[in-house]
Structures are given as C-alpha cells and as structure tokens.
Amino acid sequence: MALTYSKLKEYWEGRRFKGRARRTIKWVGFNNCEVGCENVGGSTYITVYFHDHRIALFHADGRIMIDACGYESSPVTRARILNVTGIYLRSDSRKYRGSNKKVRIGDLPYTKGMWFLNGRCINPEICSETITTMDRSIVRSVAARLSHVTKLAITSTRMGLIDGRHAGIITMPELHNRIIEEGKSPTVDTVNMLAQYGCGSYYNPRHTAVYVRKSIDCIRERMYRLEGAYITREIEYGQQEKLAA
C-alpha cells in the first residue's frame, strides 16, 4: 500500500528518531528508503530518498511529486516509486513504438517534475515527447530495390564465393550508387565489396555473412534518410488537453 503524508509525518516525528536528518524506513518493500523533512521553495515537504536520491515529495494538501533521478529505466527504482507513491512507471516500447521516451505513467511520458493528486497528473503541460514513425511506402520501395542484392549475397556466401579481402577500398556512397545502378542484376563483385566494407580493417572468412548483412543495413539506413522515410512529430500533452477541452 502506498504511503501518505500523514503516515510519513507520523513516522518522521517518532520519538526514537529525534535529532536525525533522515530516518530509515523499516517497513517491508521499502529497502534502502529513508524519510526526511525539507523546506523546498518556501513550503515544507515530507521527502523520501532511495539510495540518497530524492524520489518523492509529499505535500500536506495531498500532492506528490516523483523524480526517478535519471534511473527511470531501472526496475528497482520504478518498484520503489510504486511502493512509496502508488504511481506506476511502466516500460512499454511496443504500444508507443518510435517514442524516444519508453517509460510512461498512464498515457503520459514520464517527465521530471510531474505532480500528482489522487493518482492523476495535475501538470501535464510539462510533458512532451518526440515520436518518430516511418513512411511505409518508402520502406517497401527500399526493400524491393535491395531484395536482389540481398538474395545474391545469401547465395554467394553459402557457396563460398565471397572474399572481402580482394574487393578493394570503397566508400558507402560509391557502394550505394553501384547497387542502384546494377538494380535487378547485381554481381558477385558487389557482394565482395559489401563484405569488405562491413568488415572494416580485419577480414575473417567465418564472419562473411555478418559483414555483408552489416553493409546492407547501412545502405538501407542511408536510403531511408535520403528519401525521407522518417517522420518526426512533437507532442505536447498540455496543449492537447486544452484543445480537447
């Protein structure tokens, strides 16, 4: 069960803790947590620390501010915040694919400085995030243009026709242009160049397939960026709520 201001204050004012700056919380589920009392911005708050990081501020009116202190990706930190405040920071990269912020509280991206009252964020205007999606038509187009050289690379590698040591030096733009020019009729020399580019300075025949795959991934990424496959948009949740209201 989550802690409250009154419960923490009662614990803080306990007789056996007199004279200490912070008091260790001995209850189950609050390992390495300490409670304190601080003046922040002219107001007095009951604070909770986890490994010397202040993870929560409790105000007498029921407001709570949480702060993962840069450790929001840590399951242990998220678990302590849940135990202390009852606020669940979840990691959900599938539903919000493309978002730069993977940790969310409800539908909002976790943002330092969020205040909550009765489990609901009362200052969503501070939340914003950048979401990057992809133009599926460009993705399909790039996949179609790379399919022929990819198939040849798989076949050539299995037959042992690739030796990236003799391909010569080639840059990514040159390799990209060569694949575009050859189109549906790529050559083994091109696959050799893919292996040479992917291996860098040291070539190991056992890793040929890895080198080729690495180069193809680089070319695919280059095509995406040159053709504008990435679509980036900014979402500001406070403005979104005002418009909806």
Per residue in 216-241, pLDDT tens?
999 999 999 999 999 888 888 865 44
pLDDT band at 18 (very low <50, low <70, confident <90, very high): low
- Whether the per-residue pLDDT at 101 is higher than 70: the answer is no
The reported pLDDT for the residue numbered 115 is: 93
The reported pLDDT for the residue numbered 28 is: 80
Q: Do 214 and 164 meet the contact criterion of CB atoms below 8 Å apart?
A: no
Whole-number Cα distances in Å, 72 to 115, 138, 146 = 16, 34, 39
The reported pLDDT for the residue numbered 243 is: 38
List the domain boundaries for the chain.
Answer: 5-124, 136-226
| Phi, psi (rounded to 5 degrees) for 106 | 65, -125
110-128, pLDDT tens digit by residue? 888 899 998 899 999 888 8
The full 3-state SS of the chain, as one line of letters, equals CCCCHHHHHHHHCCHHHCCCCCEECCCCCCCCEEEEEEEECCEEEEEEEECCEEEEEECCCCCEEECCCCCCCCHHHHHHHHHHHCCCCEECCCCCCCECCCEEECCEECCCCCEEECCEECCHHHCEEEEEEECHHHHHHHHHHHHHHHHHHHHHHHHCCCCHHHCCCCCHHHHHHHHHHHCCCCCHHHHHHHHHHHHCCCCCHHHHHHHHHHHHHHHHHHHHHHCCCEEEEEEEHHHHHHHHC
The reported pLDDT for the residue numbered 81 is: 93
Mean pLDDT of the chain: 84
Neighbours of 25 (CB within 10 A): 21
The reported pLDDT for the residue numbered 245 is: 34
Rounded Cα–Cα distance for residues 178 and 145 (Å)? 12
Q: Do 64 and 116 meet the contact criterion of CB atoms below 8 Å apart?
A: yes
- Whether the per-residue pLDDT at 55 is higher than 90: the answer is yes
Which residue from 25, 21, 31 is spatially nearest to 10, judged by alpha carbons? 25
Which residue from 100, 101, 99, 126 is spatially nearest to 112, judged by alpha carbons? 126
Rounded Cα–Cα distance for residues 49 and 35 (Å)? 6
pLDDT band at 94 (very low <50, low <70, confident <90, very high): low
158-181, pLDDT tens digit by residue? 888 887 666 566 788 998 999 999
